[in-house]
Amino acid sequence: MRPREIRVVERLQPAPDCVELVCEFPEDEGPQSGQFYMLSVGDGRDTYLPRPFSFYRVFSPRRLSFLFRVVGPGTRFLAGLRPRDRLQAMGPLGRGFPLPDGPERAVLVAGGVGVPPLWSLARSLLGLGCEVTALLGARTRSAVLGRPELEALGIQVLTATDDGSMGHRGPVTELLGGIEADGLYACGPEGMLRAVRDIAAARPLPRTYLALEAAMACGYGICLGCAVERAQPDPALGAYGTYARVCREGPVFRWDEVRI
Amino acid sequence: MTVDTQISIGNLRCKNPVWVAAGTFLYGREYGRRLPLEELGAICTKGTSLEPWDGVQGIRIAETPAGMLNAIGLQNWGIDAYLERNVAWLREQNATIVVNIVGKTVDEYAAVAAKLSPRDADAIEVNISCPNVSEGGVFFGTDLRMTEKVVDAVRKATSLPVIVKLAPNTHGLAEFAKAAEAYGADALSVANCIPGMAIDIRRRKAVMGTPAGSGGLSGPAVKPIILKMVWDVTAAVRIPVIGVGGVVSWQDAVEYLMAGASAVQVGSALFRNPNAPWDVAQGLEQFMRDEGVSSIGELIGAARP
């Protein structure tokens, strides 16, 4: 486990404040959907810690992309990278989405910049013969991410915006009301994940999986910084496994595994 | 040119002066493979208490300029879990093991120390300086009388070398260093994270999840501060001092050694590079070759007048 140097080959700007960096890896990569990489930002001095990012699109075994919104010094650095620039990446890390044993009706729910882990998942589910629908939510039309990229896979995409400027007006989870699903896969803000969890509990829909986000320092399990409370203490740890690590036991959890 | 990097801390002999700091490595099992721990001076385990501790609920990590705040709160699985699950593994990796111990009372520190035989640990590091717990931790390390009591109790509970990890946020650090020495410490780790905080200006509240809203600052930002503490403490005591604070590169390690430290601990640098301590150890050895330094002793205190 060592950070490896990767190279930016293309820089796309799918929304005014969002950037997709297509990167070339030194070896063939085969990450699971939902797994992530720790990306270095700058020289690691002023911006001391690497940042966790799910990979987004897969163009070839060595070519993956990362999609992010510019929110702070780390993402500002990444947004400033241009083709041929190099950065360090460590991964793939964590536990991704479990795939169904066979064809199912799969619904993907993304809020804000939550779409990255769902793009490759959609592709894998299609490969298994699943019927895949993606629901994308955002504040406003220009912030809806991933729609053309998901539509290019040939799946149905529905959108919801807070201001009604694209698709349904209201939370993206309201779109779930009219949709039959065997599996539900979600990534987005905490409020959205809670709403998905509540729907999973109410239907019930046991095959519901949530990709969590957390501040973390290491990404490989040693800092204990990304703790999330387990719904049930880990039996292997007796009464004391109160917390799971988002980076290690996650970032994907079944809806009833954690308290969010 | 062969260089001699071996150091001694009390009866503890280490292959080189590059250690891993407590809480930044757990027990190394997350690497998922054999680790060449024999190439490092020692590894300090995660802070270990008598009973398991849950740690802090809420935000535990925040990046700050040239560093980071942590508020883990010493989440650990307790000394019995250490003995059952991790000793054998660490021995298989040929690690020199320093078990970092924590407690809420003096008796708890002593009880953890008493459970460690020479099979389980090569030395004990007494953490009286964690800034993120509401009992024990830094409340012992910032009170001179309590520092004496804890060190005395641990000293009487074990025959292993005792290293006391001092708190950076005291007035008169030298007095604490001398007190630890007087009560039988074999060495001092200088220091722990520096209490600090960050505010989320949108939510108008402290970022970190501790009740006090604070965390411990580590990383390059603290290095000049801790380096001076090492310089000062080295002048105040005769026992070896271990520099802990913002060691990211081998150059940082050389600075600490030249300030008077007998060893350094690589801490949060591990979060950004799992190979950091090995890289530091290799860089240090290369520096010795480049400079024609045959023994590490020549570097220790080399910058002192």
The CATH number of residue B93's host domain is 3.20.20.70
Task: Please report the DSSP string for B25-54 in residue order.
Answer: STTSGGG-S---GGGSSEEEPSPB-SS-B-
Q: What is the pLDDT of residue B15?
A: 96
B52 closest CB neighbour out of A225, A240, A248: A240
pLDDT, tens digit, 9 for 90 and up, residues A232-247: 877 666 545 789 999 9
Q: What is the pLDDT of residue A2?
A: 85
Are A108 and A189 within one domain?
A: yes
Which CATH number goes with the domain that contains A11? 2.40.30.10
Specify the residue for token string 């990444």: A78
The residue with greater pLDDT, B140 or A194, is: A194
Task: Please answer whether residues B87 and A234 qualify as being in contact, where contact means their C-beta atoms are separated by less than 8 angstroms.
Answer: no
Expressed as residue numbers, the domain containing B31 is 7-298
- Whether residues A110 and A204 share a domain: the answer is yes
CA distance B203 to chain A (A): 15
| Residues A134 and A206 occupy one common structural domain | yes
What are the φ and ψ backbone dihedral angles of B240, each rounded to 5 degrees?
-65, 150
Mean pLDDT of A148-163: 97
CB contact under 8 A, A46 and B66: yes
Mean pLDDT computed over A1-22: 95
Cβ–Cβ below 8 Å for B61 and A216: yes
Residues A110, A76, single domain; the answer is no
Q: Are residues A130 and A190 in the same domain?
A: yes
Mutate to test the interface with A, among B202, B218, B249, B273 (most CBs of A within 10 A): B273
Residue A205 and residue A119 in one domain: yes
Residues contacting residue A22 through CB under 8 Å, at least 6 positions apart: A8, A9, A10, A11, A12, A57, A59, A63, A64, A65
Q: For Cα atoms B282, B219, B196, give the angle at the middle one, nearest 5 degrees.
A: 160
Measure CB to CB from residue B219 to each of A1, A48, A229 and give the nearest one.
Answer: A48
Determine, yes or no, domain membership for B267.
yes
Check whether A40 has a pLDDT greater than 90. Answer: yes
Instruction: For chain B, give the longest Cα–Cα distance.
Output: 59
Same domain, A112 and A182: yes
User: Is B289 domain-assigned?
Assistant: yes
pLDDT of residue A246: 96
Q: Which of B54, B55, B66 is facing A48, going by the closest CB pair? A: B66
Least reliable range by pLDDT among A18-27, A38-47, A83-92, B40-49: A38-47
Q: How many structural domains are present in chain B? A: 1
Residue numbers of the domain that contains A132: 102-211
The position carrying tokens 């599996």 is A183
CA-based nearest distance B174→chain A, Å = 30
- Of A70, A93, A116, at which residue does a domain stop? A93
Q: What is the pLDDT along chain B (305 residues), one digit of tens a residue?
A: 889 999 999 889 999 999 999 999 999 888 888 899 999 999 999 999 999 998 999 999 999 999 999 999 999 999 999 999 999 999 999 999 999 999 999 999 999 999 999 999 999 999 998 777 767 677 788 899 999 999 999 999 999 999 999 999 998 999 999 999 999 999 999 999 999 999 999 999 999 999 999 999 999 999 999 999 999 999 999 999 999 999 999 999 999 999 999 999 999 999 999 999 999 999 999 999 999 999 999 999 999 99
* Residues A106 and A203 reside in one and the same domain: yes
Query: Contact A227/B75, CB-based, under 8 Å?
Result: yes
Neighboring chain B residues of A229 at a CB cutoff of 8 Å: 57
| A41-77 core/surface letters (b: 16 or more CB in 10 A; e: else) | beebeebbbbbbbbbbbbeeebbbbbbbbbeeebbeb
C-alpha distances (whole Å) from A43 to each of A48, A50, B267 are 8, 10, 18
Q: Rounded to two decimals, what is the model's pTM?
A: 0.95
| Cα dihedral: B85, B91, B95, B97 (round 10) | 60
pLDDT of residue A235: 65
d(CA B55, CA B53): 6
**What residues of chain B lie within 8 A of the CB of A248, using their CB?**
30
| B303 within a domain of the structure (yes/no) | no
Interface test with A, best of B30, B53, B68, B282 (most A CBs within 10 A): B30
pLDDT at A237: 62
Residue B2 lies in a domain: no
User: Which residues of B have a catalytic role annotated?
Assistant: 130
pLDDT reading at A114 higher than 80: yes
* Strand pairing category for A243-245 and A227-229: antiparallel
Question: Could you say which of A35, A69, A93 is where a domain stops?
Answer: A93
Q: How many domains does chain A have?
A: 3
Q: Mean per-residue pLDDT for A107-126?
A: 97
The region, left, alpha or beta by phi > 0 then psi within -120 to 50, assigned to residue B10 is: left
Residue B193 lies in a domain: yes
A148: distance to nearest CA of chain B, Å? 33
For residue A233, the model assigns a pLDDT of: 78
Give the CATH number of the domain where residue A232 resides.
2.10.240.10
B154: closest CA among B192, B96, B193, B103?
B103
- Please state, for a pLDDT cut of 70, what percent of chain A lies above it: 97
Residue where a domain terminates, one of A211, A232, A248: A211
Instruction: Classify A73 as helix, strand or coil.
Output: helix
CB B227 within 8 A of CB B243: yes
B206: left (phi over 0), alpha (psi -120 to 50) or beta: beta
